[in-house]
A and B are shown apart, each in its own frame.
Chain A
Amino acid sequence: MIIDFNTYLGQWPFRRLCARTALEALKWMDKNRISIAVVSSLNSVLYMDPHDGNYELLEEVEQYGERFVPLAVVNPKYPGWENELEECISLGFRGLRLYPQYHNYLLTDEDCLRLVKKASEKNLVVSIPVRLRDGRGRHWMDLARDISLDELKQLAEKSPETKIVVLEARGVVDTPLINYSNVYFEISRMNAAFGEIDRLIEQAGDSRVVFGSGFPLKYLQSAILKTKLIKKPRETIEKILWRNACSLLGLDQKELRLGSIENMFLP
């Protein structure tokens, strides 16, 4: 079984995506043997009120049951987020995805720290993509910065009770960030061919590494290939592919009714 911790649904204003609906995404997921996509709204990146994107996301995925685990996008700089956080929990969102580079705040801003603290009180995981696109070819209206490892470190330090999943990071091996036990790492921008992910596992431990792809902004298969090149025991690969994600999201693996999909991946 594979749980992809780094996926999105919706429109990306700067480029046509290969999958814009849940049904289209499922086709790619099935082709790549992804059982569950942990997904957030791309529309919420640029909506003034990102909560509308959360509603749209739920409408889009609700008919596909366990194949999608929705994460809510919350902007702690926009009024009303406290109410919406409560509503997201009642609606079944399993965690948050923050886009500080597009919502114009720092992870260390007081409002963000309050949001992250509340999320952890509600047992919600917080995931943060370092970036959503490569800056070398960015659209002229897309001025978002990449989140620095130092900014993430400061968040981890100020919010030790919060489980933070860093998406789209690279270069974390041998950095201070790796020492924070509340920080988890998604692998899609790290290399397996030359041992970076192996070193990540050795330094962070195999319980703090999760599989992710960045789909549909990015192709899925590259991330799958990474898991096949990791030189670690099968138990470790399984933790990365889905067990760690289950723990972070509070999913009971026994309750997942995914049938034959469970055994489709052989590392």
Chain B
Amino acid sequence: MKIDCHSHINGRFFKWGVELKNLVEAADKLRIDKLCCSIPFVEGMPTPSEFKTCNDEMVRAMKEYPGKILGYCFVNPGYQQESLEEVEKRVLEEGMIGVKLYNQYKCSDPIVFPIVKKTVELKVPILQHAGHLTDPAEASRQPNISDARDISYLASLFPEAVIIEAHLGGGGDWEWALKILRNTRNVYVDTSGSVIDCGMIEKAVKLLGAERLLFGTDLSMEEGVGKILDAEISEHDRSLIFGENMRQILEARFR
């Protein structure tokens, strides 16, 4: 089983350049069973009306491909009450699987904490956009991007939260991230992103354990699948990463 824990579909405010039908077709060819998607704002501060529109579009896609497209609820923690209501409604009434947070605030900012508490209450994960961008020009484009240190801090405050650090292969210095997260047990790392440095998955397994790694693509489809297939790891670990770990996370709220 393959569950892509980090994917996206087009929204009204931001298009990733891939039509939903083509995404599903590509996933089928690569034998990806489920796509966990979101429609975040990649820059700016979306209003409640705007992030609700993103989630409306996400729910439409979930209904178009039931069981294949799963949706994260994207919110802007700066609008606390609206965000909390939105998360509760989308998870409990519309079957969304978790919360997607982007770069509006660092996740170590207390403004984010009520959202995290809500995910603990609902037993759903947070997929946190993250990166340790070593190139100053890259870093300056996202002044509020969270890095592994922010995530590790958040996880220490909320040990019951299930936090996924996004795109090991798309967040800059991945070795730095692994070192920081090594001892933070309630943080998972998704392997998505276009970076496929040979040895990345082996090192992640060595430092974090396969139990804390989740397969993802972030729309780098062949890269996402190929790096897990090629890694010199056991078939058991490969199976955990490809889908078993995420399956357990998705089922946690029903236990």
A: residues with CB less than 8 A from B are 15-19, 28, 31-32, 133-140, 189, 191-195, 215-226, 228-229
Closest 8 CB pairs of A and B: A222-B226, A221-B230, A193-B26, A193-B221, A221-B226, A137-B172, A225-B222, A18-B198
Cβ contacts under 8 Å, B198 to chain A: 17-19, 28, 215-220
Cβ contacts under 8 Å, B26 to chain A: 193-194, 229
How many whole Å from A155's CB to the nearest CB in chain B? Answer: 25
Are A137 and B196 in touch, CB under 8 angstroms? no
Give 30 pairs: A residue, B residue, CB < 8 Å, sorted on A.
A15-B175, A18-B199, A134-B194, A136-B131, A136-B134, A137-B133, A137-B134, A137-B171, A137-B172, A138-B135, A139-B134, A140-B134, A189-B194, A191-B220, A193-B30, A193-B222, A194-B22, A215-B198, A216-B198, A217-B197, A219-B200, A221-B226, A221-B229, A221-B230, A222-B223, A223-B226, A224-B226, A225-B30, A229-B29, A229-B30
Cβ contacts under 8 Å, A224 to chain B: 226
* Interface 1/0 per residue, B170-204 and A, CB below 8 Å: 11111100000000000000000011111110100
Cβ contacts under 8 Å, B175 to chain A: 15
Not counting A222-B225, A225-B30, A229-B222, a sample of 14 additional A-B residue pairs whose C-beta atoms are within 8 angstroms of each other reads: A15-B175, A16-B199, A17-B198, A135-B138, A137-B135, A140-B134, A192-B222, A193-B30, A193-B221, A217-B198, A219-B200, A222-B227, A225-B229, A229-B29
**Cβ contact of A137, chosen from B18, B174, B227, cutoff 8 A:** B174
Q: Is residue B45 contacting chain A, with contact meaning CB distance below 8 A? A: no
* Interface 1/0 per residue, B203-223 and A, CB below 8 Å: 000000000000000001111
Q: Is residue B232 contacting chain A, with contact meaning CB distance below 8 A? A: yes
Give the total of B residues in contact with A, Cβ under 8 Å: 37
Are A191 and B221 in touch, CB under 8 angstroms? yes
Chain B CB within 10 A, most for which of A19, A221, A226, A229? A221
Separation of A237 and B174 alpha carbons in the complex (Å): 34
Q: Is residue B132 contacting chain A, with contact meaning CB distance below 8 A? A: yes
Separation of A215 and B230 alpha carbons in the complex (Å): 11
Chain B CB within 10 A, most for which of A217, A219, A228? A219
Cβ contacts under 8 Å, A17 to chain B: 198-199
Asked whether A222 and B202 contact (CB < 8 A) given A136-B135, A193-B222, the answer is: no
Q: Is residue B120 contacting chain A, with contact meaning CB distance below 8 A? A: no
**Cβ contact of B196, chosen from A31, A192, A219, cutoff 8 A:** A219
Cβ contacts under 8 Å, B223 to chain A: 222
